């Protein structure tokens, strides 16, 4: 397996995880405590429940990532989809922070040799790439839900996390100018927010 490809893949995966985490946190920062726990209908998950589910999944999948099954026997997955009296925004955000730290503690130290190994999730073997991709796409799916809910609650007061509407051409020009100025790589999350901020100024 080409070492440079593995290094590039791992670097991009870590950056993507960090960007999704930051995107969710920027969205959640815009909602009130009441909105954090609000479900928009009987079948919908609140932001609080999604936070609990992501963190619970991360604790299970990334603890002892290389040596134990990703579905831990003590995981109470059904409880991740319920709000309990003891749940507070503060306690859930601490759980969120711990979940992400568990992920980065497992992924960042991976070596080239580790990519030759297999891990299991619910008894099913996965290559390291498959296991990372499985969780990366899972978290992106749920973080999209967080952003959608936060945007719904904020409505016209929403602070965009992506390219503002009807500003794609201007954003492309903004990126071109940064490249001319010698910026080698633009962060996929930071660039649209920097552009939006410049529009307001």
Question: Which residue in 170, 153, 115, 135 sits closest to 1, CA to CA?
Answer: 115
As a whole number of angstroms, the distance between CA 51 and CA 3 comes to 35
Count of alpha carbons within 13 Å of 162, Cβ hemisphere only?
Answer: 9
98: which DSSP letter? H
pLDDT at 1: 56
For residues 103 and 58, the answer to whether their CB atoms sit within 8 Å is yes
As a whole number of angstroms, the distance between CA 164 and CA 193 comes to 9
For residues 36 and 89, the answer to whether their CB atoms sit within 8 Å is yes
Q: Nearest 5 degrees, angle CA 119-CA 53-CA 61?
A: 10
Q: Which residue is listed with tokens 């969710």?
A: 24
What token pair was written down for 93? 């955000």
For residues 186 and 175, the answer to whether their CB atoms sit within 8 Å is yes
- Mean pLDDT per block of 10 residues along the chain (201 residues) reads 92 97 98 97 96 98 98 95 91 98 98 97 98 98 98 94 81 79 71 70 56
pLDDT at 199: 65
For residues 58 and 100, the answer to whether their CB atoms sit within 8 Å is yes
Q: Nearest 5 degrees, angle CA 54-CA 44-CA 188?
A: 50
pLDDT at 194: 74
């Amino acid at each position: 397996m080409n070492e440079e490809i593995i290094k590039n893949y791992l670097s991009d995966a870590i950056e993507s995880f960090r960007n999704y985490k930051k995107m969710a946190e920027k969205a959640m920062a815009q909602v009130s405590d009441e909105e954090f726990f609000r479900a928009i209908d009987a079948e919908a998950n609140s932001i609080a429940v999604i936070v609990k589910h992501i963190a619970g999944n991360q604790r299970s999948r990334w603890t002892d990532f290389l040596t134990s099954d990703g579905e831990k026997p003590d995981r109470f997955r059904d409880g991740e989809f319920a709000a309990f009296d003891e749940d507070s925004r503060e306690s859930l955000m601490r759980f969120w922070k711990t979940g992400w730290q568990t992920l980065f503690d497992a992924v960042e130290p991976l070596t080239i040799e580790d990519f030759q190994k297999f891990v299991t999730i619910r008894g099913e073997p996965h290559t390291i790439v498959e296991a990372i991709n499985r969780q990366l796409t899972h978290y992106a799916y749920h973080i999209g839900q967080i952003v959608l809910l936060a945007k719904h609650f904020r409505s016209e007061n929403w602070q965009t996390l992506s390219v503002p509407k009807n500003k794609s051409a201007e954003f492309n020009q903004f990126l071109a100018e940064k490249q001319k100025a010698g910026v080698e790589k633009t962060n996929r999350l930071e660039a649209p927010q920097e552009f939006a901020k410049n529009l307001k100024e």
